[in-house]
Chain A
C-alpha cells in the first residue's frame, strides 16, 4: 500500500518508494539519507502536532509535515 510520510501515525513504519518535488529541500532529504529503499519508522510528533520525528538509517531525523509530504512510502502488509 502506498502512503505519504505525512499521513503516517506514531508507530507506523515503511520503506521509501520515492522522493518527489525538487530543489533544495529534496537535495537536503537525500543528503540526510531519505532515499528510496530506506526504512522509516515514525517515532514521535512534536507537542504542537508538527514537526515529526522518524528513525531512518539508524538515527533520529526531524522534519515538518509539509516536507514529509514529498516522501512516498510503501507500507509492508
Chain B
C-alpha cells in the first residue's frame, strides 16, 4: 500500500483534511523509537487504497521539539511515497518556510493550498499556477473544511508518487551553496540518503546532523573559520533562514495580490480579541469562563437556582418512605425512578453534565436490575461476581463518562476557537514565576478533567524539563474520577460532625492539590529540574468558530479510549477485587458479612501499619484495613476507591449500600462507624488518594511521555513520597495542632538549604570560570 504523509504548520487545517480524507478509518498507531501517537488512516477513492499518516504540526524541521524530530525522522526514515504539505493560504509566507525545508528531501511533494475560500473572502488573490511554477512543485487549492479539491489533491499526489523526485533547495546562489554542495558530495559518497537535506542541515550545524556525520561537520567548521559575510558574519543558521525567507518573499509577491494592508483592517477576530485579552478584563473574563465550564459540567444546582430559592416547595412533600416488599429487582428499580433522578428538581436543576450522568445512571441501574433478576436462581457466587463484581464496577466507571466528555467538549471548543492560546498569553507572566511557560497552563487545567489527555498535551512544551515537571504535577489537579472520593468523604465528614459544609471541604481539597502542584514545581525547578525558564514564542491563531464535525470526532476518540479502559483494566481489576474480597485463603466462598476473613482483608491488614502515620492505619483496629484496600484499588483506577467503599462499607454495616444513590456517603459513614476513624485521618485519606500514584492508565501514559525509564521511576517515587508526606502533615497537624511549628521549622530549614545550595552552586561556577581565565 502506498503511504502519503501530511505535514504542515500547527493549525493549518491538517487534522480536518486528515479526517475528511480518511473518514472514520483513523486509528492511533505507535511508531518505533518515540512513542507518540501519529494517526494513520486509509483513503479509498483511488484505484488502490492509500495509507495516510498525519504528522504532528511543525514550523520547521530543526531538532528542537519532539514534534519536529518525529516528523523529520518519519519523512527521512519511513520514506513515504508522497508528502502532502498543507499550507494555510491566509498565511502563505510563514507556511512556505517549512516547504522550503521539506523540498530538500528526496521525496515527491505536493502542496495543498488550504483555506483558499478565506483568502478570497478577504478579497485577496493567489495565483496557484504562478506559485507552482516558482516553487517547482504541484500546488492544489483546497478547502479541507468544505471538502473542496480533495479528490484533485489526491490525484496529483498519486501522480507525483509514481516518479522519483530529487531534493531541490532555494539556497542556490547564496554564498553557502558551495559548502552545501561539497557536503552533499561527501555524504553521497558514504552512501547517505537524502544527501541534500543532510548537507543543508550540516551547514547549519544542526545538533542531530553533527552527531550523525562528525567527519562532514569538521569540514563545515573549517569552512566557517575562513568565511566572512558583511551582514551575518559566519552565522550560517541566520544566513540559511534569511535566504529561505528572502526567496519566499520574492516569489510570493508575484503570486499574491492583497486588496489592502491587513494591518489597518479590523476583523471580527480583532474585535473579539480586544475584549478577551483586555488589559483589565482579560483575567476576570478568563476566570468566569473557567467557572462556567466547571459549573456546567459538575454542578447539581444549575446557576444556583436552587440556592436562590426558586425550588423552595416548603417541606410539604416530605413523603414518608414506606417499606415496600418488592417481588423482583426490576420492580424495585422502576419504583425508584422519578423525574428527580433525571433533572434533580428537588434542590435545583442539574447542570447538563450531572443530567447526562444521572440519565446514564438510570440505564446502568436498569441493566443491573435485569441482570440480578435473570440470575436470581443462580449460585450466589455467580450472581455475585456478575452483578456486584463486573457490572457494578463497569457501571461506576461508565457513570463518569458523560462528565469527562462534556469537559472535553468545552476544552475542545476553547482550543478550536483559538482562545486557549490567548489564555497562555495572559497567564505566561504568572507561570514564569514557577519556572514554567504559559503553555503549561493548558495541560494542567485539562488535568481537572483527566490526566491522560493532559499528559499527552504536554508535547506542546518545547523544554524537556518543563515537560517532565508538568507531567509530574498533572495528577495533583484533581481529575473527574477523584471527585467522587472528595464528595463522598466530605459528605461522610459532615454527617459525622453533624455540621459543616461538604462543598467547602471539596473546594479546599482542590485548592490543596493546586498548592501542592505549585510548591512541587518550584521545588523541582530549583533542585533536580533546574534550568532556564523555557522560551515563550508562540503563534496566536485567528479566532474562528469551532467545527461541529471535528468536535464530534474528537469526542468519539475520547469515548473509545475510555470505554476501552473500562472494559480492560478496570474490568479485570473489579473481578480481581471482588474475587479476593469474597474468597478466604482456603478458597471458601464468603458472604458479604464475612469479609474480614477474606484474602483482601489479610493483605490489607499486612500493609496497614504503613499507613499509621497518615491516620488510617493500625490505629483503626480490626476493620481498619478497608481504607488501605480502597486506596490500593485506587491505584488501578480512582473510580475503584468509591466502588470499593460500596462493597466494603456494605460488609461492615451488614446491609446493602448502593453507592450510586447518595454518591457513597452512606458507605463512608458505615466505614467511619466500623473503624472509628477521626476527621484528620479522613482528610489525610482524601489527600493521599489525590496526590499519590494516579490510575493505571495515567501511569502508562506518563511512562510513554517521559523521556526515559529513570525519570519514570523517579516520577513514581515522587508521587508516593509527596502523597505520604502531605497526608502525614495533614493528619499530624489535624490531630496535634502544635506539630504545625515542627513542620514549619522543617520546611524553613529545607528551603534555606536549597537556596543556599543554589547560591553556592552559582558561586562555585564563577570560581571555575575565574580559574579557567587565569
Contact = CB atoms under 8 A, between A and B. Distances in A.
7 contacts: A19-B238, A32-B537, A44-B273, A47-B278, A47-B279, A58-B92, A63-B538
A61 B537 contact: yes
A51 to B, nearest CB: 5
A29 B278 CA distance: 26
A47 B282 contact: yes
A64 B430 CA distance: 12
A50 interface: yes
A37 B242 contact: yes
Interface stretch (B59-67, B322-330, B511-519): B59-67
Interface in A51-65: 51, 53, 55, 57-64
Contact of B428 (A13, A37, A50): A50
Contact of A67 (B231, B279, B537): B537
A62 B93 CA distance: 17
Contacts of A63: 535-538
Consensus secondary structure, chain A interface: mixed
B263 interface: yes
B280 A31 contact: no
Contacts, number: 118
A24 interface: yes
B540 interface: yes
Q: Contact size class for B?
A: 35 or more
B282 A25 contact: no
A41 B265 CA distance: 14
A75 interface: no
Given A33-B97, A37-B242, A46-B428, A25 B280 contact: no
B245 interface: yes
Contacts of B542: 60
B467 to A, nearest CB: 15
Interface in A12-45: 13, 19, 24-33, 35-38, 41, 44-45
A28 B536 CA distance: 10
B279 A45 contact: yes
B241 A31 contact: yes
Given A30-B241, A48-B429, A59 B231 contact: no
Interface in B44-84: 59-60, 62, 64
B246 A37 contact: yes
Interface string B270-282: 0001000111101
A61 B424 CA distance: 12
B118 to A, nearest CB: 12
B119 to A, nearest CB: 11
A58 B91 contact: yes
Contact of B426 (A24, A47, A57): A47
Contacts of A28: 64, 462, 535, 537
Contacts of A24: 64, 462, 535
A56 B428 CA distance: 21
A59 B280 CA distance: 24
A31 B62 contact: yes
Given A27-B62, A67-B536, A32 B94 contact: yes
A41 B92 CA distance: 18
Contacts of B273: 44
Interface string B255-298: 00000001100000000010001111011000000000000000
A36, A37, A60, A63 interface centre (most CB from chain B within 10 Å): A60
